[in-house]
Homo-oligomer: A and B are copies of this chain.
């Protein structure tokens, strides 16, 4: 048995224990977007600190202006010669939405045999508690087998990723010295298919905006005033409807300024990936409006978009209410590509909306920090090592792909720590992340942890 085989065997032997602990973490409703759950977020942080301390890390909880960060370091005498490795994960989760839409309660996970997999349902099971648990489990096994961690390890577990990461920039700036590393792994992305791993080398930027249209009056009786008074729902619908033109392009003036064409080599590569792409096959795309002239993967990975995430106004039921509401609110998000500045896009959107608000009505905007798109340089020395490690575990070539998602953190690491990130993860697009009945499975977790062992081995090899 080689050294690495010993570590892999340790992961295999410890699987039941690892899963039991993961389910305990999943049972903590660490919803960051709702202040009512701040105590649960703190509880999850405490639980993780305890676990990491138990594995031999110097682990502590760092308060922020928002929700706490769990920060852990390997002790100098407890790691092998090797590069400085930073592992990022987030332990907070999205709100659950309407509980009635869940067939399994979101915070009571148990193992269920389905489709030949030991599946577990929980908010955060895929995004992202199982993810962070894969690298912690690999590091545990490495140290238990070999007596020390594979290099200088830093673990950063965030508690407000799903709420916009408002406190993270200050945290990273304030801790830039102790976060120094040779490579940062952001473990929060998806696989290419259930049997093929992927690295995400291209991420989109993100801008959230909440827009509320106010009529000049409070709620009115729609029978009396519907024919003559402003209806904020109608004004908002007209605005939302005008966001795209007939070809599916975003109609905001100047929205595509500075957006380069997708390079021809990348287009060819992505077009070939479209065929058989798991994320496209596992979701019904009928009724969607893809920007004209682009394949689905080009649109998702390479073209900027605006999406409507929520809308609320007037009567929410039950029962009828003949009301002209005093206001109407929509929540939108913009996904940006290289060349777009978040605040510029935000301003262009606000100008676009303001022009359509009639005299006598008014508009209010609300939006948190935005992030830019990011591309990992192909010449990054760690990229190939990680890619090879994944291929060894999954026995298929690792796909280098883009993503429609956003990891604002990658931009911060780049700006503040001057370190490039490897975006890796074991989510699948049909895990129902952000939706009801989010789920994951033991088998994928297991291979995820094993993947990290092989990656750590390849990286150790880099230095020798």
Contact = CB atoms under 8 A, between A and B. Distances in A.
Contacts of A236: 237
Contacts of A221: 405, 429, 433-435
Contact of A320 (B208, B238, B317): B208
A356 B97 CA distance: 28
Interface of A: 32-35, 94-95, 97, 101, 162-164, 190, 204, 206, 208, 210, 215-231, 233-238, 240-242, 244, 279-280, 283-291, 296, 299-300, 303, 305, 307-326, 328, 330-331, 333, 335, 357-361, 368, 403-406, 429, 432-437
A234 B223 contact: no
A339 to B, nearest CB: 17
Given A241-B237, A312-B312, A359-B287, A33 B223 contact: no
A22 to B, nearest CB: 21
Given A360-B284, A404-B224, A308 B230 contact: no
Across chains A and B, which 6 residue pairs bring their CB atoms closest together, nearest first? A286-B360, A33-B319, A230-B287, A310-B315, A219-B435, A241-B241
A227 B299 contact: yes
Nearest to A291: B227
A226 B404 contact: yes
A217 B310 CA distance: 16
A406 B224 CA distance: 9
Given A229-B288, A322-B434, A307 B216 contact: no
Nearest to A297: B228
Given A241-B238, A288-B228, A321 B223 contact: no
Contact of A33 (B34, B216, B313, B321): B321
Given A234-B240, A287-B216, A404 B436 contact: no
A227 B309 contact: no
A231 B308 contact: yes
Contacts of A218: 101, 432, 435-437
A289 B359 CA distance: 12
B320 A331 contact: yes
B406 A223 contact: yes
A317 B331 contact: yes
A245 B326 CA distance: 23
A154 to B, nearest CB: 27
Contact of A324 (B307, B314, B358): B307
A223 B405 contact: yes
A331 B309 contact: no
A228 B296 contact: yes
A321 B404 contact: no
Contacts of A222: 307, 309, 333, 335, 434
Contacts of A34: 318-319
A312 B222 CA distance: 18
A360 B283 CA distance: 12
B309 A321 contact: yes
Given A225-B283, A241-B241, A310-B313, 9 more contacts: A219-B434, A224-B403, A225-B404, A229-B287, A231-B308, A287-B358, A310-B316, A310-B323, A323-B434
